[in-house]
Amino acid sequence: MKSWIILAVMMLSIGTMFAQQETLFKHVRVRGAFGGPITEYSINNDFNTSVGGGGAVVLNNFFIGGYGMASADFNKLYEDGDLKVLDIGHGGFWLGGTFMSRKLVHVYSSVRLGWGAINIELDDTVPYQDLDKIFVATPEIGIEMNITTWFHIAGTVGYRATTGVNENLGYNNDDFSGMIGAVTLRFGWFGSRR
């Protein structure tokens, strides 16, 4: 009886050695990676242009990565040549995807989810814990054009939703939220076959 148990355990062990491992993302394939600048333009409020950038790993037609954005009074920068305060700065996760990405022009969509602060003094006089911290979610959809196999450009419309603004400082969430138009340049490898 003991030998049958040992034989059964050995057979199960051998069987599991040859079994294929199951994974959550079994059919996901890394197709490439990219990085590049992002520019956001406010459509329905007086909020200034935001500039920044990001990078991601391409998995099938989906990408996941990170980004960083900031906005300032660029007119003051051009006039005075000095920039002391960022109106808003945020960074975090960047998720998105494309549909029929092998076509010259195709659908592009993404969402940026990040944390940051408003009225950030650049001379480092205010400790981080004293900044007015916020959360920003920016979903967008538009079209992308494959300029080359390593350079894509996307034009999108979306909405920047900002929460957590301290209204005691004279601002509210609506001052930093609103419709946006964005241009995203993506440089990298997108898994295109030669």
Q: Which residue has the higher pLDDT, 119 or 78?
A: 119
Res. 169 pLDDT band, cuts 50 70 90: confident
Mean pLDDT of 34-62: 88
Q: What is the pLDDT of residue 155?
A: 97
**pTM for the predicted model, two decimal places:** 0.77
- Pairing type for strands 105-121 and 50-59 reads unpaired
Secondary structure (3-state) at 44: coil
Q: Retrieve residue 170's tokens.
A: 């004279």
Mean pLDDT of the 126-137 span = 78
Mean pLDDT of the chain: 82
Percentage of the chain beyond pLDDT 70 is: 71
In 10 A of CB 30, how many CB atoms?
A: 10
Kindly report, residue by residue over 77-118, the tens digit of the pLDDT: 556 666 666 788 899 999 999 999 889 999 999 999 999 888
> Region 157-171: what's the mean pLDDT?
85
Contact yes or no for 53/70 (Cβ under 8 A): no
Half-sphere exposure of 92 (CA within 13 A, CB side): 16
Specify the higher pLDDT residue, 138 or 29. 138
| CA–CA gap between residue 164 and residue 92 (Å, rounded) | 16
Distance, in Å, from the CA atom of 17 to the CA atom of 187, rounded to the nearest integer, reads: 42
Distance CA 157, CA 109 (A): 9
Q: Which of 10-24, 31-45, 144-158, 170-184 has the highest mean pLDDT?
A: 144-158
Angle (CA) 148 153 158, round 5°: 160
Q: Given pLDDT bands bounded at 50, 70 and 90, which one contains residue 13?
A: low
Eight-class DSSP state of 145: E
Q: How far apart, in whole angstroms, are the C-alpha atoms of residue 175 and residue 136?
A: 13
Q: Is the pLDDT of residue 139 over 50?
A: yes
pLDDT score for 194: 42
Domains of the chain: 30-189 (2.40.160.20)
Residue 189 and residue 32 in contact, taking contact as beta carbons nearer than 8 Å: yes
Select the highest-mean-pLDDT range: 75-79, 117-121, 189-193.
117-121
**In this predicted model, which residue has the larger pLDDT, 175 or 22?**
175
